[in-house]
Amino acid sequence: MIRNEDFIQSKQVPGPTKEEVRCLVMCKAHICKDDVVLDVGCGTGGLTVESAQRAQEVISIDKNPEAISMTQRNVIKHGLLEKVRFIEGDALSVMTELPSFDVLLIGGSSGELPQIISKGYEKLNLNGRIIVTSILLETRVEAVETFKKLNMIPDVVEVTIAKGKITDRGTMMMGRNPITIISAVKNEDGNP
Amino acid sequence: MIRNEDFIQSKQVPGPTKEEVRCLVMCKAHICKDDVVLDVGCGTGGLTVESAQRAQEVISIDKNPEAISMTQRNVIKHGLLEKVRFIEGDALSVMTELPSFDVLLIGGSSGELPQIISKGYEKLNLNGRIIVTSILLETRVEAVETFKKLNMIPDVVEVTIAKGKITDRGTMMMGRNPITIISAVKNEDGNP
Amino acid sequence: MIRNEDFIQSKQVPGPTKEEVRCLVMCKAHICKDDVVLDVGCGTGGLTVESAQRAQEVISIDKNPEAISMTQRNVIKHGLLEKVRFIEGDALSVMTELPSFDVLLIGGSSGELPQIISKGYEKLNLNGRIIVTSILLETRVEAVETFKKLNMIPDVVEVTIAKGKITDRGTMMMGRNPITIISAVKNEDGNP
Amino acid sequence: MIRNEDFIQSKQVPGPTKEEVRCLVMCKAHICKDDVVLDVGCGTGGLTVESAQRAQEVISIDKNPEAISMTQRNVIKHGLLEKVRFIEGDALSVMTELPSFDVLLIGGSSGELPQIISKGYEKLNLNGRIIVTSILLETRVEAVETFKKLNMIPDVVEVTIAKGKITDRGTMMMGRNPITIISAVKNEDGNP
């Protein structure tokens, strides 16, 4: 995994997703080298860069032009520009015009999570995966309910990480915000 | 419990111990109205004030004069001045000169935790309780090992709290540093 | 707090609520000696017994007759029978016939959480508190949303506890299910 | 990652390391296809199998013959037999006779963690990684202290996972034991 400090960061743009969470999202996404990945709400580009290292192509979407610019800078920094397309805009409209894909990562949904999941499901190839990361109580439930309606079986993992900070006094455990990762696989019988 | 925002606070002095942790420490301390409580490393005075509401007397110790001053201000704010004695100094030296007590709270130990626990044990009345709160990996183990050497049975509770922040987008879960509470009771047979 | 092992327990009835969680619920409930407490979904009786030690009266409700019987046994064991009334039945119907109360604890709601909170709010005295404990993602959101509709400000605390088990090899940290405590106070301006 | 249920399991042998923890350990180990990996305390073989999918060779060590047999069955099940060597015995003695390696995974250390880390450090190639997973308070501190003595900078991550169980009543969050992953890299200047 790329270290947190190896991403260019800005106070105006959220992220990057922390190393351990990126790791777990990649684990749930198990991206293959032929996969096309959609990163909705790409923010600083943490998941875009990790995905681009594994996939054939990544399409990164954000409503915030500063996020698109930030993601672009990080993609360039890690030498992955030829693999990533950047689209500033609304995920729902963008997805309508896209061809199919294999992995849909949703880090931000501007209150349209159920619609984004449903639209994503339509466009998802068989055995494709949708992975939602959330720090909001409400988003978790919306994700679970939308997956159920689509006959997908949600995998729900709440991750609480504390990192040790080595100090003169000892190893101080610094807490992070708990993240919930809700994911599901599109397959014929609905089983993961 | 007193709300976090009802304590006077300063960037120079750590604390106050957060509401939920104060609550759990008070639970482990089960202070009665005849009890004498020693608060070592009193910081902002969160545990001193809570203890003073329940005990006969609290003796608050800190090496940092600003912490003593801060604790004093919070004790005054909550109308408990007649119940609390403030001692600026080194816990080990201070304890040597004190009479016995019922509850020993250790929030800071300046690298002398085993000695403070051992000295505290000597001065502790029968059925007295020692409660250590820690965010350091090393302190947890020192506390457990010292309690064991004293034939006290350590109760170890690691508490990870996330608080919901109500926002327009939803309920954002904000993580706190995990706290470990290690406590033990002094009794004849070593059972809690 | 009463120790977990000091409650009579049965595999047929959930509970008792673990010591640390009881402690935090009591903290949020801050029961006074004149208070009347309603314990909806009393289960094994953990919160009923703790409440009865602090309140004037506790009314314990459960749909499950075995839970009522279990709560009763624990209330008797702790010598609090004269303070507790036991009602086997549906919380919503029971609440309609009850006079007002000061604290409403909701540990189980059989899918009727919004209605129970709303009905409870009607019957709650000014400055009364409602405390919901939940291990379900959905319940957390329902509680937050219902409190908001009633102009109550929800306090949301997610608590993850690990307990140390002292073994020959060392102190093994054993995780518990994370519990979310959602509480709110009824007051004129909606502020806690 | 391989799903937990895709490992053959037995009550006599601990493990397999859960999916999310395997994922984080693999993240910290970043195994390349030329790497030789040592898995000390291989248990059920969860980390051995994951490593064998990424490395040139894995050497799996356990004092418990049942663990060796279990790991072997899981290695065979996942078609990786030609990549794994199995050694029943004491890690310290075994390591003395082994050539150098790139990754040392330590899941069990029978009270000899400092010695195993130190011996492992000697045999570790430059840029090699040592990863300790622990559920014991004491082991965490031993690992941190040993890494520091070797001038390695420990990365300490405590991971608390709760998994959602989809039920008729909702998504029940089931807690797991918190795991601490302590890792470090061997390099000339001691920086990770």
- pLDDT digit string (tens) for D80-102? 999 999 999 999 999 999 999 99
Range of the structural domain that residue B101 is part of? 4-185
What integer pLDDT is reported at residue C108 of this predicted model?
Answer: 84
D6 assigned to some structural domain? no
What integer pLDDT is reported at residue C189 of this predicted model?
Answer: 58
Per residue in D99-142, pLDDT (tens digit) is 999 999 999 888 899 999 999 999 999 999 999 999 999 999 99
Q: How confident is the model at residue B109 (pLDDT cuts 50, 70, 90)?
A: confident
Rg (CA), chain D: 16
Q: Residue D131 and residue D191: Cα distance in Å, rounded?
A: 16
A129 assigned to some structural domain? yes
C8 assigned to some structural domain? no
Using N-to-C axis directions, what is the helix angle for A137-149 and C137-149, rounded to 10°?
Answer: 120
Q: Is the peptide bond before C16 cis (omega within 30 degrees of 0)?
A: yes
C48 assigned to some structural domain? yes
Q: Residue A29 and residue C91: Cα distance in Å, rounded?
A: 44
Is 90 exceeded by the pLDDT of residue A109? no
- CATH code at B22? 3.40.50.150
**φ/ψ of residue A142, rounded to 5:** -60, -40
Is 70 exceeded by the pLDDT of residue D190? no
Q: Between chains, do C139 and D170 touch, taking CB under 8 Å as contact?
A: yes
Q: Residue A23 and residue D23: Cα distance in Å, rounded?
A: 7
Smallest Cα distance from A108 to chain B, Å? 11
* ipTM exceeding 0.85, yes/no: yes
A9 assigned to some structural domain? no
Q: Which of A53, A150, A152, A161 to mutate to test the interface with D (most CBs of D within 10 A)?
A: A161
> Within chain C, which residues score under 70 in pLDDT?
189-192
> Is B94 touching C (CB cutoff 8 A)?
no
Mean pLDDT calculated for residue range D159-165: 97
Q: Residue A51 and residue D141: Cα distance in Å, rounded?
A: 35
What integer pLDDT is reported at residue A178 of this predicted model?
Answer: 96
Pairing assessment for the beta strands B179-185 and C84-88 based on DSSP bridges = unpaired
Total of domains in chain D: 1
Q: Which of A131, D1, D160 is nearest to B178 (CA)?
A: D160
A156: chain C residues, CB-CB within 8 Å: 137
Q: How confident is the model at residue B189 (pLDDT cuts 50, 70, 90)?
A: low
Between D24, D27, D173, which is nearest A158 by CB? Answer: D173
What integer pLDDT is reported at residue A108 of this predicted model?
Answer: 84
B154 or C110: which leads in pLDDT: B154
Between D23, D148, D154, which is nearest A24 by CB? Answer: D23
Strands (DSSP E) contained in C15-154 are: 36-40, 57-62, 84-88, 101-106, 124-134
D160 assigned to some structural domain? yes
The 3-state secondary structure of chain D, one letter per residue: CCCHHHCCCCCCCCCCCCHHHHHHHHHHHCCCCCCEEEEECCCCCHHHHHHHHHCCEEEEEECCHHHHHHHHHHHHHCCCHHHEEEEECCHHHHHHHCCCEEEEEECCCCCCHHHHHHHHHHHEEEEEEEEEEECEHHHHHHHHHHHHHCCCCCEEEEEEEEEEEECCCCEEEEECCCEEEEEEECCCCCCC
Cα–Cα distances in angstroms (integers) from residue B170 to residues A44, A141, B165, D99, in the given order: 22, 12, 8, 56
**Coil, strand or helix at A116:** helix
What integer pLDDT is reported at residue C109 of this predicted model?
Answer: 86
Between B141, B156, B158, which is nearest D141 by CB? Answer: B141
What integer pLDDT is reported at residue A37 of this predicted model?
Answer: 98
B191 assigned to some structural domain? no
Contact partners, residue A168, CB within 8 Å, separation at least 6: none
Per residue in A118-169, pLDDT (tens digit) is 999 999 999 999 999 999 999 999 999 999 999 999 999 999 999 999 999 9
> Is D177 touching C (CB cutoff 8 A)?
yes
Q: Residue C169 and residue C150: Cα distance in Å, rounded?
A: 52
Q: How confident is the model at residue D189 (pLDDT cuts 50, 70, 90)?
A: low
C3 assigned to some structural domain? no
Please, which residues 126-145 of chain B have a Cβ atom closer than 8 Å to chain D? 137-138, 140-141, 144
